[in-house]
A and B are shown apart, each in its own frame.
Chain A
Amino acid sequence: MTGFGDRILGLGLLVLAVAYGWAAQQWPEPFGGAEGVGPETFPTILSVVLVAGSLYLMIKPDPDARWPVGKSALELLVSVLVLVVYALLLEPLGFVIATTLAVGTLSWRMGAAPKRAFLTGLGSAVVVFVLFNYGLSLSLPAGLLEVH
């Protein structure tokens, strides 16, 4: 079936729009009564617009895009995972170690030689760390490397 992507998106947006609009109707009347507009007025309008838009998408979808399959889908998942793990480890491991690992892994997966990739990671991590902590005095977490 063509237009599969748009139909799925339309369905998702329709659910979102209805939930968004419904939630707006549940808010308590603001203190002092409604003066022209309440907190729900604007969201209600938006919800109606999005319902119309999502229905249109489902009725008249555009042709499908080419979705990644196999290896490139896997590489995409790996990249997202690296980003999430980077955010997760930034504070416990400290900026320099976490960045070396994250930048290194990313550029290695993008096709750089592993050694050069991780050296790039280390180099950029140290430069940015020094620049921010000493140059701009905005502290990035030192983590394991913290001097007590």
Chain B
Amino acid sequence: METLGFLMEGFAVALTPYNLMFALFGAFVFCLPGLGPANGVAILIPLAFTLGLPPETAMILLTAVYAGAMYGGRISSILLNIPGDEPAMMTCLDGYPMARKGRAADALAVSAIASFSGGLIGTIGLIMLAPVLARFALTFGPAEYFALFLLAFATLGGITGKNPMKTVIAAALGIMISTVGIDISTGTQRYTFGVLELYEGIDFILAIVGLFAISELLFFVEHRMGEGREKMQVGKLSLSLKELVTTIPTQLRGGILGFISGVLPGAGASLGSFISYTLEKQVVGKKGRFGEGALVPMLTLGVPGSGTTAVLLAMLISLNITPGPLMFTQNADIVWGVIAALLIGNVLLLVLNIPLVGFFVRLLSVPPMYLLPIVTMVAFVGIYSISHSTFDLYFMIAFGIAGYFLRKLEIPLVPIILGLLLGPEMEKNLGHALVLSDGDWSILWGSPLAIGLWTVAGLGLVLPYLVGPLLRRRMNAAIKESPVSD
């Protein structure tokens, strides 16, 4: 009951006209394709402070920007194969092929609905679980977190590439990049080579924008010169209510799974969307709907706990609140304000999204030869306005070139980003575990929970290797049989 009371107070704050105005502004501006949520929020955090906005308005603005940018990210994922942020990467995998079949409008509409239901499930879950959260988080020790992170990488093996070893290499590279900078626990300078800009480490936003947006530009240049690129047929919105209904179970599963991994601090964003994507691929694959560019996988965008937690964290940290189980008691008013803002943001976006699908689709029928350079420019602007340093721009270009070569060599990029994001947490948890055990490494597999996680991780890495070739053969056979082929 206390919970409901808090929520009502949160609504009262979020629904004032002043705050609503900012919410609308944020949701609209950052729908612009190419400007991902990470960029959007990163740009807006300093803005919220320079404008001297009260904390609750700032939070609502950021939530709306985030939600708007997520939608924008999906648009570019689906139509251009450029993911706006890391949870949206999964969208590329299925949205882009769908768009190439002329069903872009459907893909966008489903993604809007999926993200609405995902967001809703996530927020409702948060409201119900909030009081329990504190106790649950305590049973997960550092060793279990370490194993959980390994599991996150292992699950990638099955979906991102043909060669699991290349996934391992990519993950190792990503984590290695994350070790650059001053070591938090000892203050040792690692791999900084005396360069001042490297002391604070390499910003993952640089890496994401470089690896994806810049390498996409290079790929486009190469292929246009070679054989030319298919013209994107957007097509009419041909989605029936019945088709929507069939996606409901998927949306529920995706939402709940995403939420579960979302509440585990640090594991949220990417883990949720990957795991639920893999699960759906399996569940749906069995029913034989997989090959036809099923709508289902769109749900991954809806994974709620995911990106939402990241924004929550960014907002909370910028408001000087230490995230963790204690915040629900120590900063109850602000936390509930954020939750209310999330709910409102989700409703607002659904209302805006459906009628706007047509508008965005037209926006993106701009030929890529104009659009891609502009998107690249926006990437430059986003990176430049974070630190106002051209050093970061060179770094981004370097990541872009590296991304081009890695993609050519079929080294998946997703584990690199995931490694960059999770690396510091992994190392911290490893350190804590070993301090607890006095340097005894067996603590890492010292509890039933940890052993379970290790086992699943091991299976996740080995199984695709064994089952993969078999599955691919079957899929090829299925594609040959069906008249609707790529």
Residues of A within 8 A of B (CB): 5-6, 9, 13, 20, 23-24, 27-28, 30-31, 35-39, 41-43, 46, 49-50, 53-54, 56-57, 62, 65, 67-68, 71-72, 75-76, 79-80, 83-84, 86-88, 90-91, 95, 99, 102-103, 106-107, 109-112, 116-117, 120-121, 124-125, 128, 132, 136-138, 140
Contacts of B459 in A (CB 8 A): none
The CA-CA distance from A13 to B214 in the complex, in Å, is 22
Contacts of B408 in A (CB 8 A): 5, 65, 67
Shortest beta-carbon distance, B39 to chain A, in Å? 12
Contacts of A87 in B (CB 8 A): 380, 390, 393-394, 397
Which 3 residue pairs spanning A and B have beta carbons closest together?
A72-B225, A36-B434, A106-B373
> What are 15 A-to-B residue pairs whose CB atoms are below 8 Å?
A38-B186, A41-B434, A42-B179, A42-B431, A53-B165, A75-B225, A76-B218, A83-B376, A88-B390, A102-B377, A124-B374, A124-B377, A128-B378, A128-B381, A132-B385
Interface residues of B in 374-397 (CB under 8 A from A): 374, 376-378, 380-381, 384-385, 390, 393-394, 397
Residue of A nearest to B406 (CB): A9
Interface residues of B in 340-365 (CB under 8 A from A): none
Q: Indicate if the CB atoms of A49 and B435 lie closer than 8 Å.
A: no
Known A-B contacts: A43-B190, A84-B397. Give 10 more (CB < 8 A): A31-B186, A35-B435, A36-B435, A37-B434, A50-B173, A76-B218, A83-B397, A87-B380, A102-B373, A120-B370
The CA-CA distance from A109 to B369 in the complex, in Å, is 9
Contacts of B291 in A (CB 8 A): none
The CA-CA distance from A4 to B385 in the complex, in Å, is 41
Q: Indicate if the CB atoms of B50 and A110 lie closer than 8 Å.
A: no
Chain A interface main SS type: helix
The CA-CA distance from A62 to B169 in the complex, in Å, is 14
Q: Indicate if the CB atoms of B393 and A79 lie closer than 8 Å.
A: no
Shortest beta-carbon distance, B96 to chain A, in Å? 19
Contacts of B370 in A (CB 8 A): 107, 112, 116-117, 120
Contacts of A35 in B (CB 8 A): 435
Residue of B nearest to A84 (CB): B397
Residue of A nearest to B367 (CB): A112
Q: Indicate if the CB atoms of A27 and B430 lie closer than 8 Å.
A: no
Partner of B377, one of A103, A109, A110: A103
The CA-CA distance from A2 to B176 in the complex, in Å, is 29
The CA-CA distance from A87 to B377 in the complex, in Å, is 10
Contacts of B218 in A (CB 8 A): 76, 79-80
Interface residues of B in 400-452 (CB under 8 A from A): 400-401, 408-411, 426-427, 430-431, 434-435, 437-439
The CA-CA distance from A72 to B345 in the complex, in Å, is 45
Contacts of A72 in B (CB 8 A): 221-222, 225-226
Interface residues of B in 229-279 (CB under 8 A from A): none
Chain B interface main SS type: helix
Query: Quick check: is B11 within 8 A (CB to CB) of the other chain?
Result: no
Query: Quick check: is B187 within 8 A (CB to CB) of the other chain?
Result: yes
Shortest beta-carbon distance, B178 to chain A, in Å? 10
Query: Quick check: is B198 within 8 A (CB to CB) of the other chain?
Result: no
Q: Indicate if the CB atoms of A49 and B226 lie closer than 8 Å.
A: no
The CA-CA distance from A71 to B190 in the complex, in Å, is 41
In the complex with contacts A37-B434, A65-B409, A109-B221 CB distance below 8 A: yes
Interface residues of B in 201-239 (CB under 8 A from A): 214, 217-218, 220-222, 224-226
The CA-CA distance from A116 to B400 in the complex, in Å, is 27
The CA-CA distance from A52 to B187 in the complex, in Å, is 29
In the complex with contacts A13-B169, A46-B176, A110-B373 CB distance below 8 A: yes
Q: Indicate if the CB atoms of B179 and A46 lie closer than 8 Å.
A: yes
Q: Indicate if the CB atoms of A103 and B221 lie closer than 8 Å.
A: no
Residues of B within 8 A of A (CB): 43, 46-47, 50-51, 162-163, 165-166, 168-169, 172-173, 175-176, 179, 183, 185-188, 190-191, 214, 217-218, 220-222, 224-226, 367-370, 372-374, 376-378, 380-381, 384-385, 390, 393-394, 397, 400-401, 408-411, 426-427, 430-431, 434-435, 437-439
Taking each of B51, B220, B380, B390, which has the highest tally of chain A beta carbons within 10 Å of its own beta carbon?
Answer: B380
The CA-CA distance from A110 to B377 in the complex, in Å, is 15
Contacts of A121 in B (CB 8 A): 373
Q: Indicate if the CB atoms of B173 and A39 lie closer than 8 Å.
A: no
Partner of A53, one of B169, B217, B401: B169
Contacts of A102 in B (CB 8 A): 373, 377
Contacts of A39 in B (CB 8 A): 183, 185-186, 188, 190
Residue of B nearest to A27 (CB): B188
Contacts of B397 in A (CB 8 A): 80, 83-84, 87
Residue of B nearest to A79 (CB): B221
Partner of B221, one of A75, A90, A117, A140: A75
Residue of B nearest to A51 (CB): B172
Partner of A23, one of B166, B191, B222, B437: B191
The CA-CA distance from A90 to B276 in the complex, in Å, is 42
The CA-CA distance from A79 to B163 in the complex, in Å, is 30
Partner of A54, one of B169, B186, B222: B169
